[in-house]
Amino acid sequence: MSKEALDTVLALSESFKSPYRLSNPLLRTILSKHPHLTAEAQTHPTSARILVHPSLPAFLTAFLQVKKHHGTRTEQSVYSDITTWQDLVKRLLTCRPLCFYGASDETLLRDMTSPRGSEWIRVGTESQGLIHMKDYLTYEEMGVAALLGISAPVFFVNTGGRYNRGKWSEEGTFESNGIYTALVGARYEVPGKMEWRHTLAYQGQEPLIHPWTMLYDVHPLQEDLACLDPTLYAPISESVALHIPSYIRRIRIPLDNLLLDANDRARARNKRAYVHVVGLGLGVWQICQSQPRWFVQAAAEAIEAYRLPHVGVLNFSWFPENIIECGGVKSGQQFRTDKGNDIRIEFSKRDPAQKLETRDQDMLLVASFAWDANSYVGNEYWMGMLTASGDPAAAACSTIGEVMNPDINPFLLDNIWVSSE
C-alpha cells in the first residue's frame, strides 16, 4: 500500500496545476536528488492526519444538527447530505480556496479566479454571489475549521525561515525530516466574525448560542471597562475587551493537539519529541498586547493537563522579549508535573527545521506553523507570495504542499485522529 500511496500522490501532484508552485520542495525533486529516501517517503501520505481535539466530536455533531434543522435554506440544502461529524470535517478541509488573506479577504479560488473579498460574507445566505456554499465555507464554518489541525511527516529543503523561498541549503545545516503541524490561531481581522464573536466582549453583543456555548462563555459588557476584573478581561478599546478565559480555551485546542500529536508520534518511534512552537495568531491577527502571555499560559495548562512522557522539549520561537517563562519555568529549565512530565522549556529565535543541538539530535523534530481556517496549506504560497507569512514559508521549505493537500493526497481525508494520550 505504501508504494501505491506514494505513486498516487506523485501522479496527482503532477496534474495539480498552479503557476507559482516551486519545484525544490516537491517529492519528485527530492527523491530524484535523494533516491535512498524513497522507502521513507512511501510512509508519508498515509501518515498525514487531521487533528481533532477531544472536545470537538460532540461540538461538531451538535453544529451539524443545528444547521440541518435551523440553518438557512442554503445551509440546510448543503447539510442534507452530511450525516456524520467526520463528513463535516472533510467538508471543512476540502471546501476552501487556495488563498485567503488580509482584512479585506483577498482570495484565490480553486479555479484560479479572484472574486472580491466581500463575496465571502454572502456565502450560505439566500443571496449568494460568485462564491457558493456547495463549494466553499461560510464565515461561521471558518470559525469551526479554525479548530482543526493537520500533521504529517515531511522532508525539509532548508531551515524554514520566513525568507527561505524554497532554496536548497547545504546538507547537514538543517533537519532534513520531521513532523510539520498546521494549526490556526485566533483571527480578529473582521469585526463580529470568528474569534471576534467568540472570545471578545463588547457592548451590544448578542449572547452566544448553541453549540458555541459548548466551547465558550462570553458575556456582553454591562459596565465601564475600568471596572472589569483584570483577571478575566483585557481592555482593547473603550467598548471592546478580550475575555481571557475564552481566549485561553480557544488557544488550548491547537496547543493540546500539537502536544498530544507530538507525544503520539514520538512514542511510535521510541523517541522523545522536540516541539517547535510558533505564535498562532500573534502576528497581524493579534488584537491585544497581552495575548502572547495568555498563549504561553495556555501551553502551561496543556502540559499540566496531559501525560506527555514522549515530549522532551517545548521551544517557543520568536515570542516577545518580555515573555521569559512558561508556567513559572524559565528558558533552559525543566517543567515537571504530577503526571510525570519532564519537559525542557526554551525561548529562542530558531527556525522550524534549524539543526538541533547535539544533546537533542536523537529527538523527533515536531515543528508547528500558523495556518488559516479558509485556505489550503501554504495559503499565499499558491499566489507566489513566498514571504508573506509563516504559512507560505512552511510550504516553500517542505513537502506540506503535497502531503497536506487533499487534492494531491487523498489518504489524508481518511485519517482523522481524535487527539489523545
Judge whether 96 and 375 are in contact, CB under 8 Å.
yes
Q: Is the pLDDT of residue 127 over 70?
A: yes
Q: What region does 56 belong to: left with phi over 0, alpha with psi -120 to 50, or beta?
A: alpha
Does residue 307 contact residue 341 with C-beta atoms inside 8 Å? yes
Where in the chain are the domains? Answer: 2-53+148-189+251-418, 195-246
Give pLDDT tens digits for 147-187: 999 999 999 999 999 999 999 999 999 999 999 999 999 99
pLDDT at 209: 87
Q: Is the pLDDT of residue 238 over 90?
A: no
Cell triple for 86: 467526520
In the chain, what are the helix, strand and coil shares in percent, each to the nearest 5? Answer: 35, 20, 45
227, pLDDT greater than 90:
no
CA distance 373 to 59: 17
What mean pLDDT, rounded, does the chain reach?
96
Q: What is the mean pLDDT of the segment spanning 258-271?
A: 99
pLDDT recorded at residue 223: 66
Strand 49-52, strand 416-418: pairing:
parallel
Whether the predicted pLDDT of 18 surpasses 90 = no
| Neighbour tally for 31: CB within 10 Å | 17
Q: Tell me what the mean pLDDT of segment 396-401 comes to.
A: 99
- pLDDT tens per residue across span 176-196: 999 999 999 999 998 889 999
Selection from 1-5, 201-205, 233-237, 390-394 with the highest mean pLDDT: 390-394
3-state secondary structure 272-313: CEEEEEECCCCCCCCCCCCHHHHHHHHHHHHHHHCCCCCEEE
Q: Which residues contact 418 (CB under 8 A, 6 or more apart)?
A: 52, 53, 54, 56, 57
- pTM for the model stands at 0.97
**What average pLDDT score do residues 231-249 get?**
92
Average pLDDT over every residue of 246-269: 98
Residues 6+ apart with CB under 8 A from 158: 164, 166, 167, 168, 169, 174, 353, 397
Give per-residue pLDDT as tens, 77-121.
999 999 999 999 999 999 999 999 999 999 999 999 999 999 999
Whether 399 and 419 have beta carbons less than 8 Å apart is answered as no
Q: Does 340 have pLDDT greater than 70?
A: yes
Q: How far is CA 383 from CA 110, 136, 390, in A?
A: 12, 19, 14
Give the span between the Cα atoms of 268 and 263, in whole angstroms. Answer: 9
The percent of residues in the chain predicted with pLDDT above 90, rounded, is 90
Mean pLDDT of 302-325: 98
* Percent of all residues in the chain with a pLDDT value above 70, rounded to a whole number: 98
Please report, for the chain, how many H helices and E strands are present, in that order. Answer: 13, 16
**Opening angle at CA 127, ends 121 and 128, nearest 5:** 60
If you average pLDDT over residues 309-325, what whole number do you get? 98
The confidence band for 19, taking pLDDT boundaries of 50, 70 and 90, is confident
How far apart are alpha carbons 24 and 322 in whole angstroms?
37
Please tell me which residue, 155 or 18, carries the higher pLDDT value.
Answer: 155
pLDDT above 90 (res 370): yes
